[in-house]
Structure 1
Amino acid sequence: MKLPTDHPNPLVRRLLSFWAPTTGTMRGWALASVVVNAGIAVTGAGVRVTESGLGCPTWPRCTPDSFVPVAHPETDMLNMLVEFGNRLLTFLVLAVGVACVIVALRLTPRRRSLVLLAWLQPAGVLAQALWGGLVVSTMLNPFTVGMHFLISTGLIAACWMLYARAGEGDGPVRRVTHRDIRRLGHALLAAVFVLLVVGVAVSGTGPHSGDERASRFDLDIEAVARLHADVVYIVVGLTFALLFALHVSHAERPARRAALVLLAVELGQGAIGYTQYFLAVPAALVLLHVLGSTLVWIAALRVVTSLRTREPLPDHSPTGVPAAV
């Protein structure tokens, strides 16, 4: 019997690889989930900077009487199409998340840790969809909009952990660096998350609210922008410290490379941020800044997971063949 994964077209084989998965398949779908979740975070910012946040003024319908865009007296059709297009991307993210679940369930031997991480993805996407309804019903309140982005960062973290764990065993954690260096990596990741939270506050205080009817945080934009810059200096300083510690301790190359990539992404993001500030926050640079934020987060997650590994569980079967469960 010919399997779907025997299809002569390599693209079709890759798309159907979840049916007869390998460890490489699991990692591939997990990485695809990282990409689509990061992508929808950026397109969400695109909705905001094009003033299309209320392009579909109701939820789950686009208009009170239609699930798809139709002429509406209070909404420009282009804004409606932009917002509706972003809603449609949710189904792509959900499809990739479901594929990860199928791969984790069909992987032999089945690994409980991967199954649990995989289930976080469709569950998180559904939670995001419901939260999106709250964003619309609150007329783009900056708190609900900001939480929408932060929930995406949580989903990205779950996707990255699935990718990292798929390449490891299920044995105890083994450090590949000194304990204090690993703690420094955790402190760096926490600082990056704080940076994202402060960035959300800046975004909710400044321009590009998503719609002229949307409210803003009642904060001093200069003060929150300076706070954001201060946290940036802390993050970059911690990254320098980690990179130096990894170098002098002769840490394994993947860990040093991950820290170096993070530093490069941070410097690029800093250049975008300062350019954005001096040019009065043009819309195109807002998109680049959100993209940079997601890349900094992913790079920081990569650093932390490069500082440890897990060995395969020991085989306790008398013949050396894994015992049946």
Structure 2
Amino acid sequence: MKLPTDHPNPLVRGLFSFWAPTKQSMRGWALASVVVNAGITVTGAGVRVTGSGLGCPTWPKCTPDSFLPVAHPEVSPLNMAVEFGNRLLTFLVLAVGIACVVSALRMTPRRPSLARLAWLQPVGIVTQALWGGLVVNTMLNPFTVGMHFLISSGLIAACWMLYARAGEGDGPVRRVVHRDIRRLGHVLLAAVFVLLVVGVVVSGTGPHSGDVMASRFDLDIEAVARLHADIAYVVVGLSFALLFALHVSDAPRPARRAALALVVVELSQGVIGYTQYFLAVPAALVLLHVLGSTVVWIFALRAVTSLRTRTPENVPAPHSPAEAAAAV
């Protein structure tokens, strides 16, 4: 009997590659998990900017009497469809997460480090779904909505680490740049996360609450927007510093390219941010800005993971004079 992993159609083989995983297919599923988690983060913002946050006014049911959308006198059919569609995407994200777990468990030889990272996905996705119920039950309280976004950011980080670790060994971490440059990368990543947190506060203070009944943070929108912009300047400055340090130290090309890509997406995000501010935050640009913030987070993770590697446990790391000097 021919197994799906032996199917002549490459699409079928790819869909069932989790059952007979290779290093390449494991990385492929991990990257797919990054994409789908980023996607549902952006569609969640789409729910908010279209005013569909309470399109399904109850949870886990869409309406008090049905799990599926049905006509409701107080809810627009469009808003209900948008919110229910976003809920359905959770099953796609969960399916990809389970595929990552199966791939990690069936890898030969077994790599417990990958299995642990993979298990974070279904656990995190279920946690995220339960938190989504809290968002609905609190009538889109800005704190619960903001945490919903930050939990997604944490899931994206776990997915990216799975992708990075799947391409490495399980030996000790080995720097590919000077230790101070790697520390700069960690500071940059922390600054990007702070930028995301403050961005959540700006979103929770401004318009596009998701529903007219939703509450807002009682803050000065001008003040929090300026704070967000100031932190963005710090992030861009740190990114330029990382790029400069990598070039003058003749760091490996992948690290330099990752830092350059990060700077480019940050500058693009800055253009979007200022444009939406001066145009009184139109919904389409808010959605684009959320997409940009998610891309910045992913590229920041990529830049930081490019600064180190791991060798297989049974293969000693090389110790050439040049690498010894670079590790100082």
Same fold (TM over 0.5): yes
2:244 aligns with 244
1:268 aligns with 2:268: yes
Please give the alpha-carbon distance, in whole angstroms, between the structure 1 residues aligned to 2:12 and 2:311. Answer: 33
Amino acid in structure 2 at the alignment position of 1:182:
R
The alpha carbon displacement at 1:2 in A equals: 2.2
1:158 aligns with 158
The alpha carbon displacement at 1:16 in A equals: 0.7
Please give the alpha-carbon distance, in whole angstroms, between the structure 2 residues aligned to 1:51 and 1:288. Answer: 16
1:43 aligns with 2:38: no
Please give the alpha-carbon distance, in whole angstroms, between the structure 2 residues aligned to 1:50 and 1:237. Answer: 34
User: How do residues 91-240 of structure 1 correspond to structure 2 at under 5 angstroms?
Assistant: 91-240=91-240
Amino acid in structure 2 at the alignment position of 1:155:
L
Inter-CA distance 242–63: structure 2 relative to 1 (3 Å threshold): same
Give me the identity figure in percent: 84
The alpha carbon displacement at 1:257 in A equals: 0.2
Please give the alpha-carbon distance, in whole angstroms, between the structure 2 residues aligned to 1:216 and 1:198. Answer: 15
Question: Which secondary structure does the structure 1 equivalent of 2:277 belong to?
Answer: helix
Please give the alpha-carbon distance, in whole angstroms, between the structure 1 residues aligned to 2:123 and 2:172. Answer: 27
1:293 aligns with 2:293: yes
Question: Which secondary structure does the structure 2 equivalent of 1:68 belong to?
Answer: coil
Deviation digits for residues 41-73 of structure 1 (CA, Å, limit 9, x no counterpart)? 000000001000000000000000000000111
Amino acid in structure 2 at the alignment position of 1:98:
I
Please give the alpha-carbon distance, in whole angstroms, between the structure 2 residues aligned to 1:165 and 1:200. Answer: 29
The normalised TM-score by structure 2 is: 0.96
Please give the alpha-carbon distance, in whole angstroms, between the structure 2 residues aligned to 1:308 and 1:3. Answer: 38
Q: Kindly report the root-mean-square deviation, in angstroms, between the aligned alpha carbons of the 2 structures.
A: 0.9
1:14 aligns with 14
Please give the alpha-carbon distance, in whole angstroms, between the structure 2 residues aligned to 1:49 and 1:312. Answer: 47
Question: Which secondary structure does the structure 2 equivalent of 1:51 belong to?
Answer: coil
Question: Which secondary structure does the structure 1 equivalent of 2:174 belong to?
Answer: strand
Deviation digits for residues 14-64 of structure 1 (CA, Å, limit 9, x no counterpart)? 101111110001000000000000000000000001000000000000000
2:322 aligns with none
Question: Which secondary structure does the structure 2 equivalent of 1:110 belong to?
Answer: coil
Please give the alpha-carbon distance, in whole angstroms, between the structure 2 residues aligned to 1:232 and 1:4. Answer: 48
Inter-CA distance 315–258: structure 2 relative to 1 (3 Å threshold): closer
The alpha carbon displacement at 1:315 in A equals: 6.4
Structure 2: 5+ residue runs without aligned partners? 317-328
Question: Which secondary structure does the structure 2 equivalent of 1:174 belong to?
Answer: strand
Question: Which secondary structure does the structure 2 equivalent of 1:212 belong to?
Answer: coil
Aligned residue-pair number = 316
